[in-house]
Structure 1
Amino acid sequence: MIIDRRNLLRAGTCLGALAFGTGFSRMAFAAPASRRVESLLARMTVEEKVGQLTLYPDEVRPTPRPINPEINAQAEARERAAFQFDEVRAGRVGSLLAGTGVQLGRKLQEAALQSRLGIPLMFGADVLHGLRTIFPIPLALAASFEPGLAERTARAAAEEMTAVGVHWTYAPMVDVARDQRWGRVAEGSGEDPYLASLFAAAYVRGFQGVNLRSQRSVAACPKHFAGYGAVIGGMEYNNTDLTERELLQTHMPPFEAAFRAGALTTMAAFNDIDGVPASGNRHLLTDLLRDRLGFKGFVVSDAASAEELVAHGVAADEKDAARQAFDAGVDVNMGGGLYKRHLPALLGANAIGIERLDEAVRRVLTVKENLGLLDDPYRSLDPKREAQEVRTPAALALAREAAARSVVLLRNQGDILPLKAGRMIALIGPLGDDAANMDGPWAPWAKTGDAVTLAQGLRAELGTRHLTIVEGCGIDAPIDGGIAAAVAAARAADVVVLAVGEGQDMSGEARSRSEITLPAPQQELAEAVAATGKPIVVVLSCGRALALQGAVRDAGAILVGWFLGSEGGHALADVLTGRIAPSGRLPVSFPRTSGQQPYYYNHKSTGRPQLPGENAFFKARYTDVANTALYPFGHGISYAPVQYGPVQLSGETLPWDDDLKASITLTNLGQRPVEEVVQLYIHDEAASVTRPVRELKCFEKVRLAAGASRQVTFTINRAELEFIGGDLQLRAEPGRFQVWIAPSSAAGTSAAFVLSPLS
């Protein structure tokens, strides 16, 4: 099959060389302000303008579970709600955060329409992977290597959001994350900027649909701009230490992909860049985002991130923080009314200009107009839809499909999987029948008990006759007699399915971990069960790559189940029993130890690389662990082995303005059909700046019948070889390149070609 780059650009599947990211071509991502917007702007008072730039937590419709720290916890909830209605009627609020519900949403919108100019509210919410129908966490969906699947889940999430009155979602999270200690790894698409870019664009297309004005579309807000995935030590809210080249080449591409897909808002990050916090960083939010990237939408702060310029130590007080954030380019303040308190006085003192104020308000009103709110303030506030279009059968079926396609099989020695019919199975572990920990982080609207557990999924597939369920221990605490009961169940079984991993509150925001191993009680349980000698299938629940140890690392079969959401238990049972063959691949590298972090496949070689097979000192290595991943980025197997032939190139030279074909023949050596993620990697042998040892440039997911062979061909051109040079501009340089077509970032034998200079 020939994969033509131009066709793939149209299809949005394989975008060659991150051409949308590192070139930073100027583009208009939003239409110019309309006459209606300009007319409104001309009639607004300063107070009303600042109101449009104020985003408060929704006190009238608070979330079932808290998302962010309470801004005004000392006031009674009823008092806060009444005050908010008054503020809305006075035109002092532009948007509300984290509220759902049509009945009260309509009342809030009625209050907004009673303001002097009747500008409607925009309702926002953090819906990263589903509202009531919970899809796999974004990291899990990235494991599918199917951006189109992510687009479908985002479209379904938008259907539910708009059914309960949401116009704007603070998603996708597009930070490239290379340190698995960071809790927010769960929210993104992993360690590779190319894969993250494809998924960023897919989510935006799904959320926003074909027509943003549709009652079923929401505005996307890619976050966190920028570099948040590089926080030092993987510690939440920490600083970063990034060169501008690394910022441009690794962390910016997913944002530009999202903007090119149509995103009209973005969220500033908590971290600093080169010593300047993102929410007060004019170089980041104006020079790069607007002047270089050409972004025309509006920037919203993260929760209280503008206020935190004081704690960062760059602002003297709140007033100074408001001035710095607004001057830098933060248009809308999320949190406790910083702009409301200080922008009017700053304007009066000429510390900010009226032109900048009008510019920010114009951007917000233009997004509201693009959403159709100025024409239909009650869009997405239909009681009938709210009653009928949440957790629909179609959405749940998609959740099950997405979950099954996100599962990654790491190991399957002796073909333990799929489970054989009629065998006695002991499901052991704290996550085997725990509905409260199926959804993962960022699911505050999910109802506990709605999610299908692995135990429920296996019962549905196998019945109860051949299945024993024992908890064994808690997620992070032992249970009296738990290990003894687990060992007894294992001895009576033919196969053990060991359901272990993280609880959902161990991943996500503010959930950084210094050790990314299993909690000690679970490891102790695993060791005791392994001592019985029974075959073990480990099913991992997690929101990051884990450093596997002992009996878990050495189990005969290991399945990464992530946090799979509403239908996770059915999906896992589908894969374990062979109803569906596993087809996911790792979007993050599983390290050998926690101490290897940050670890990612596309690192630089250094001047003293440890080459494969070497065990010498005076190399870039640790003395106590191999300088490789336990399971590398891109790894995953299925229920039949796939053989890769040698890479065949259409020539030894790639002309400067032409293409080169790279092909490989795959053969399914097994008796079952498989889906294989065929991955193209390239390495620049000698460049003007150091380059990664490998970079993912393209991939294709192909289906192979039992015993079948198939040729896969990729087209390479100069765009695949471009990088940010010493002058911080995009360039390709003539020279020799290695290319792999392989099942992972650590597999395969390379071929070589030369990029010829422009003649």
Structure 2
Amino acid sequence: MSLLNPTRRLLLQGVSAAAMAAVALLGIRRAMAAGKGSDPIEDLIANMSIEEKAGQLSLFGDPTRFHGTVVNPTSEQAATRNRVYADIAAGRITGLFNGIGVAGGREMQKIAVEKSPRGIPLIFAGDIIHGFKTTFPIPLAEAASFDPDLAFRTARAAALEATAVGLHWTFAPMVDVARDQRWGRNAEGSGEDTFLGSQFAAARVLGFQGSSLKDETSLLACPKHFAAYGAVQGGMEYNTADIPETTLRQTHLPPFKAAFDAGALSTMSAFNDIAGVPATGNHYLLTDILRGEWGFRGLVVSDYTSEEELIAHGFAANGADATARAINAGCDVAMQSGLYNDYLPDLVKSGAVSMATVDEAVRRVLRVKQALGLFDNPYRSLDEDREQTDLRKPETLALAREAGRKSIVLLKNEGGLLPLSKSARIALIGPCINDKYDYPGPWSVFPDVATCVTMAEGFQAVMGGRGTLTMARGSDYELPYEGGIDEAVRAAEASDVVVLVIGESAGMSGEAQSRVDIGIPDAQLTLAEAVAATGKPVVVVLRHGRALALTGAAKAAPAILATWFLGSETGHSVADIIFGDYAPQGRLPVSFPQASGQEPYYYNHRATGRPQTTAEKDYKARYREVTNEGLYPFGHGLTYGDIVYGTTMVDAARLSWNGAVEVRAAVSNRGTRPAHEVAQLYIHDRVASLTQPVRALKGFSHIDLAPGETRTVSFTLRRSDLEFMTASLQFAAEPGLFDVWIAPSAVGGISASFELTS
């Protein structure tokens, strides 16, 4: 029975729109519960007007409940509360984003299900990138843990908090592989490596979504940005990505595929173009690959007004043309621009967009809402009790502290300067040491700033009155201030050791924060030189959302920690490592260059015909000023032990086509402290039909080593691990010789080799 029949009868009898919507929604629920007969989603689509369909494809920012950090440009679509409520009642809005609060959410949902023409529930979305009220390390920092299970747990905790305030959908994880550290959005991703990025993409999707999308704590994941946004030229935000299709498929698409295989039912189109076709209007990406090759059945949402930006790209003539190009390409939902509401009815009438295309987009949206259980319970995740009980729980704060310390990378520790004694006289210097507003980090939209633990607070808590802690800002982030250097020098001179906290402010990383020079700002470099001139040993604690090009005293310091932006529990996490209560375990997910001019710089580059393999400089692939090595390579990270790797061993000289080989190496801790090591497996295909990376990560393993302990770490390799994207655009392996390393980083280890036979 059509859902419209009883509604028509009520309409003829003069019954209210609220009653009609309630009857329609009741029919949907009954049909879904029965599980037989007509498909309620298809019945809805069959009876919707084109205006209602356009509304189901239109998503807007929520101006009525936004109480967070502004992360998008001002839009002409900004609306009043009355306007939003009227549009919901008219069926012109499928959902709202970046508004929080259960009471307001229930009020708007009530309008949607009781007053809109079809009673279709709203979906509430938000930018939950690395936590909600409890902020976790930025995704790039968390990738430094080399621990996907940690990412699963923090995403699960973020979902618990976000759904407690009424959200159903997060615009995360960002799974772009980024190899140019000038790009500000490195902070949101998992670094430069496709294998590592794929592991974290799947883990975060599983964490956000949980065991069932219908669960009150499940948060629909939205891997972004589809595709190759991390390949923008020059690391410049919103720029073009000009890459071969083999690189697109080998490097940039696998993390998306991993996310979809993990169950993600939405994705976001990218701002960039590829080969001249903007992603939001790219049929090959959004339909041929995503739906055709991969069988993706979820929805595609544009990035903020990216369908409208087809005009500025020069790809569309006007709003109507942009709308047609976007929806015909496979972009189901328009974010913020309002173009689909404005132009789809006339485009369908003119034939520029078929009704079948619109219906398929609406079908995807409604199926996602169905999968989330919104038709069964429109008020899911709108529980006032949970809003009071599920934010900043003790176990969530403990997880934030754990995630922070596991994300810290010990880059350098000459003379065993670290860990520090809790009884020492310490000068804690730097612009952020007491600046709570800087601690959540970039892309933290709804943080609880007041409860963030600063470096000063973390040190004071761990030292517990032992020793002395003298503090000085020294400078601002990018500018000096009068008397700052003198203040810092006095603090250093009165100390046994200096902990100098320098790097970027949170506002220097993230969207629209591309940098030409990825060094530490001059004001802080001047501060570092003045502090170093006192002769006191200096521990440099870096705060940053990308790899940095270190120079001067910042580079020369005997001990350096990469601490990124660690979120709510930053001070506790850093103190846990600096004072030795925990062994460092972080490893770099991005290569630190020697100079900004090396960017884009990444470990798994291809060999050239003139590689620099010796000290020879002339007529080799290199710059005049620096060698081709990074300052700190991908995978690098020290512990408080003395770790030694033995020779890599392979249990067979040949790997048969359908067989496997075991690769192993002994790893020893010759130090006097317990250590946590992350052993990494790399391969190199010596000869192939397309040139191959000099090394490629294929696995990693965490091992704890007591002083004097040796353990054997092993990995299994199969033909599938040796595949690459061929010129025919298929993954395949080719017979031949392969080098293999078990190593502490992308440049370490003692290699072995084996032959893949057909």
TM-score band, normalised by the shorter chain?
over 0.9
**CA distance in 2: counterparts of 1:726 and 1:573, whole angstroms:** 50
TM-score (norm 2): 0.94
Structure 2 CA distance for partners of 1:100 and 1:663, relative to 1, 3 Å: same
Deviations 1:374-424 (A, max 9, x none): 000000001111011111111111000100100000000011100023211
**CA distance in 2: counterparts of 1:644 and 1:302, whole angstroms:** 46
Corresponding residue for residue 110 of structure 1: 110
Corresponding residue for residue 481 of structure 1: 483
Corresponding residue for residue 542 of structure 1: 544
**CA distance in 2: counterparts of 1:199 and 1:680, whole angstroms:** 17
Corresponding residue for residue 711 of structure 1: 712
Corresponding residue for residue 673 of structure 2: 672
Output aligned runs, 1:494-509, within 5 Å. 494-509=496-511
**CA distance in 2: counterparts of 1:438 and 1:744, whole angstroms:** 29
**CA distance in 2: counterparts of 1:33 and 1:147, whole angstroms:** 43
**CA distance in 2: counterparts of 1:156 and 1:644, whole angstroms:** 36
**CA distance in 2: counterparts of 1:592 and 1:143, whole angstroms:** 20
- Answer whether contact 2:153 2:207 (CA < 8 A) is retained: yes
Helix, strand or coil for the counterpart of 2:713? strand
Corresponding residue for residue 14 of structure 1: none
Corresponding residue for residue 122 of structure 1: 123
Corresponding residue for residue 603 of structure 1: 605
**CA distance in 2: counterparts of 1:533 and 1:709, whole angstroms:** 38
Corresponding residue for residue 98 of structure 2: 98
Whichever residue aligns with residue 97 of structure 2, its letter is L
Output aligned runs, 1:137-536, within 5 Å. 137-464=138-465, 465-536=467-538
Helix, strand or coil for the counterpart of 2:451? coil
In the TM superposition, residue 32 of structure 1 has moved relative to its aligned partner by: 14
Deviations 1:685-744 (A, max 9, x none): 000001100000011111111111111111011011101111111111000010010000
Whichever residue aligns with residue 483 of structure 1, its letter is I
**CA distance in 2: counterparts of 1:32 and 1:629, whole angstroms:** 62
**CA distance in 2: counterparts of 1:384 and 1:443, whole angstroms:** 24
- Answer whether contact 1:34 1:366 (CA < 8 A) is retained: no
Deviations 1:596-619 (A, max 9, x none): 0000000011111001x3232101
**CA distance in 2: counterparts of 1:152 and 1:39, whole angstroms:** 39
**CA distance in 2: counterparts of 1:468 and 1:615, whole angstroms:** 49
In the TM superposition, residue 72 of structure 1 has moved relative to its aligned partner by: 2.7
- Answer whether contact 2:57 2:334 (CA < 8 A) is retained: yes
**CA distance in 1: counterparts of 2:628 and 2:731, whole angstroms:** 31
Corresponding residue for residue 6 of structure 1: none
**CA distance in 1: counterparts of 2:423 and 2:442, whole angstroms:** 36
- Answer whether contact 1:681 1:741 (CA < 8 A) is retained: yes
Corresponding residue for residue 70 of structure 2: 66
Whichever residue aligns with residue 53 of structure 1, its letter is L
**CA distance in 2: counterparts of 1:624 and 1:290, whole angstroms:** 47
Helix, strand or coil for the counterpart of 2:449? coil
Corresponding residue for residue 562 of structure 1: 564
Corresponding residue for residue 9 of structure 2: none
**CA distance in 2: counterparts of 1:432 and 1:32, whole angstroms:** 62
In the TM superposition, residue 65 of structure 1 has moved relative to its aligned partner by: 2.1
In the TM superposition, residue 33 of structure 1 has moved relative to its aligned partner by: 13
- Does 2:107 match 1:83? no
Deviations 1:273-332 (A, max 9, x none): 111000111111111111112211110000000000000001111110000001100000
- Answer whether contact 1:33 1:366 (CA < 8 A) is retained: no
Deviations 1:8-53 (A, max 9, x none): xxxxxxxxxxxxxxxxxxxxxxx99981211211221111111100
Whichever residue aligns with residue 250 of structure 1, its letter is T
**CA distance in 2: counterparts of 1:727 and 1:422, whole angstroms:** 64
**CA distance in 2: counterparts of 1:696 and 1:140, whole angstroms:** 19
- Answer whether contact 1:536 1:557 (CA < 8 A) is retained: yes
Whichever residue aligns with residue 463 of structure 2, its letter is L
In the TM superposition, residue 450 of structure 1 has moved relative to its aligned partner by: 2.0
Whichever residue aligns with residue 321 of structure 2, its letter is D
Structure 2 CA distance for partners of 1:226 and 1:621, relative to 1, 3 Å: same
**CA distance in 1: counterparts of 2:119 and 2:648, whole angstroms:** 64
- Answer whether contact 1:408 1:637 (CA < 8 A) is retained: yes
Corresponding residue for residue 653 of structure 2: 652
- How many matched pairs? 722
Whichever residue aligns with residue 257 of structure 2, its letter is E
5+ unaligned residues in a row in structure 1: which ranges? 1-30
**CA distance in 1: counterparts of 2:76 and 2:162, whole angstroms:** 26
Corresponding residue for residue 630 of structure 1: 631
- Answer whether contact 1:33 1:362 (CA < 8 A) is retained: no
- Answer whether contact 1:431 1:541 (CA < 8 A) is retained: no
- Answer whether contact 2:542 2:563 (CA < 8 A) is retained: yes
**CA distance in 2: counterparts of 1:331 and 1:63, whole angstroms:** 28
Helix, strand or coil for the counterpart of 1:511? coil
Mean CA deviation greater in 447-456 or 399-408: 447-456
Helix, strand or coil for the counterpart of 1:449? helix
- Answer whether contact 1:269 1:302 (CA < 8 A) is retained: yes
**CA distance in 2: counterparts of 1:449 and 1:460, whole angstroms:** 17
In the TM superposition, residue 489 of structure 1 has moved relative to its aligned partner by: 1.1
Whichever residue aligns with residue 109 of structure 1, its letter is Q
CA RMSD of aligned residues (A): 1.3
**CA distance in 2: counterparts of 1:736 and 1:719, whole angstroms:** 15
Structure 2 CA distance for partners of 1:39 and 1:509, relative to 1, 3 Å: same
- Answer whether contact 2:426 2:497 (CA < 8 A) is retained: yes
5+ unaligned residues in a row in structure 2: which ranges? 1-34
Deviations 1:442-476 (A, max 9, x none): 11211333210111000001135511011111111
Instruction: Give the one of 565, 568, 574 matched to 1:572.
Output: 574
Deviations 1:489-548 (A, max 9, x none): 111111000000100000000010000011111000000100111110000000000000
Whichever residue aligns with residue 117 of structure 2, its letter is R
Structure 2 CA distance for partners of 1:421 and 1:93, relative to 1, 3 Å: closer
Instruction: Give the one of 33, 41, 61 matched to 1:57.
Output: 61
Whichever residue aligns with residue 92 of structure 1, its letter is R
**CA distance in 2: counterparts of 1:421 and 1:448, whole angstroms:** 27
- Answer whether contact 1:53 1:94 (CA < 8 A) is retained: yes
Deviations 1:210-246 (A, max 9, x none): 0110000010000000000000000000001110000
Helix, strand or coil for the counterpart of 1:714? strand
**CA distance in 2: counterparts of 1:63 and 1:312, whole angstroms:** 32
- Answer whether contact 2:134 2:448 (CA < 8 A) is retained: no
Whichever residue aligns with residue 323 of structure 1, its letter is A
In the TM superposition, residue 438 of structure 1 has moved relative to its aligned partner by: 1.2
**CA distance in 2: counterparts of 1:417 and 1:32, whole angstroms:** 67
Deviations 1:613-666 (A, max 9, x none): 323210100011111100000000010111101011101111111001111011
- Answer whether contact 1:51 1:94 (CA < 8 A) is retained: yes
Structure 2 CA distance for partners of 1:34 and 1:366, relative to 1, 3 Å: farther
- Answer whether contact 2:646 2:750 (CA < 8 A) is retained: no
Deviations 1:537-570 (A, max 9, x none): 0000000000001101010100011000000100
- Does 2:41 match 1:37? yes
Structure 2 CA distance for partners of 1:394 and 1:32, relative to 1, 3 Å: farther
Helix, strand or coil for the counterpart of 1:103? helix
Helix, strand or coil for the counterpart of 1:498? strand
Corresponding residue for residue 50 of structure 2: 46
Corresponding residue for residue 682 of structure 2: 681
Mean CA deviation greater in 602-611 or 435-444: 435-444
